[in-house]
Structure formats: C-alpha cells, structure tokens
Amino acid sequence: MATTFGPPAHMAAFTDVDERWGPLAKLAGQWAGDKGRDFSYSYGEKKDTENLYREEITFDPFGPVDNGSQSLFALDYRMKAWRLGADDFFHMEVGYWLWEPKTGKLHRCFMVPRSTTTIAEGTAAADATSFKLSAKQGSPTNGILSNSYLYDGAARCTAYELEVDLSGGHYAYKEDTVLQMASHGGAEMHHTDENTLSKVS
C-alpha cells in the first residue's frame, strides 16, 4: 500500500535560501574546521581529557514546515568529528535547525548515537550574527532525553547551552553539556566543545 506522506522538498541549491530562514540562512551549505577543542571524560583513561578535533557539517535547507498556523524554515544537518590525526570519527550528530519568522524563535533538535536527544531554543533577530540556545532536562518543551542507563546515573545530561557566532563569514560555536556522572561520584561535569568552521560550498 502506497503512503501519502512525503517530507518537505529540499532546496535545489544551498543558495536558494532567503530572508525567510532568518539567521539560519548564513549556515546553509557545507562547512569544515580543524580548530576544535573537546573537554570530556575519557573512559579509557579514566579521567577528564582535552582533545583536538576537526569536523565537517552540512546544513541542507528546506521549508516551510507548517504546524497549523506555525511556519518553520529549516536546515537538515549532519555532522561528523575526528580527533586530529585519526581516520575514524569519534562523534556524529543528525538533526534540524528551525527558525520561526513570526516569533524570532530558533530551535536546534538533534540526536547523538549515545541514545540522547536534545531540543534547544533561543531567540534572535532575523539579521542576527550571534545567538544563544539552551535546553534543560525535565523541560516539556526545550528538553533533553537520554536512555535509562545514562539517565540512571552513568551520565545524566541536565543542561545544554550553545553560543553561535556567524560574523566574518565563519561559523564559530561554544557549547556546554552538563552531565551528572557516576565517574565523578554523581557530581556535575561540564563537557565542553568549541570550533570555528569555514564554508567550503
């Protein structure tokens, strides 16, 4: 039996975005950067470590997505990161960035393959070159979900904050993921990442 469901058509080209995507229009395209710094707990070394990394991200525009009277303009994004000098990636993300022109709200909805999902929200002007997004565990709208193993104490994610700077034609970000970790006796640990990427196409 054929389905009648079809996802929104992606734009024919990254350059087909316009003012309806607000600040997200600047992100459409493919990006790469090798200035990444990751501070996180290493289960192999059994301590907090800093790692240098490179990453590649594709932001593929589509929209509008209509929820009744709400219209969203979106970027489908895929990201992979490699430690410098390594052939195998150590992290990946899939998800969506969404802009609501009527309210100026931005959302970043993403998943990582540790069985964690986050919806972070913020607000920005349509021509903004910087903005902040955040999420908290337990929020019914801008929340964080993890599988039972992580939530029950291995690495419960309680908060997430992201700062983005798009000035100068670059994509720079700093993010802070707050985790309650068994390896730290249940205390909070700030897993941080930052990088500056340049558009390659």
11 pLDDT higher than 80: no
- pLDDT for the residue 5: 46
CB atoms under 10 Å from CB of 193, counted, come to 20
Structure tokens at 106: 């931005």
Mean pLDDT of 54-59: 96
Residue 132: per-residue pLDDT: 98
Omega of the bond leading into 23 within 30 degrees of 0 (cis) = no
Which domains occur in the chain, in start order?
Answer: 20-199 (2.40.128.20)
Comparing CA positions, the residue from 175, 165, 163 lying closest to residue 26 is 165
Task: Find where tokens 């999420």 sit.
Answer: 135
Specify the pTM.
0.91
Site of tokens 């802009």: 99
**What confidence score (pLDDT) does residue 190 get?**
98
- pLDDT, tens digit (0-9, with 9 covering 90-100), for 78-97: 999 999 999 999 999 999 99
| Pair 172, 165: CB distance under 8 Å | yes
The pLDDT, as a whole number, for residue 14 is 72
SS3 category, 27:
helix
* Residue 184 per-residue DSSP state: G
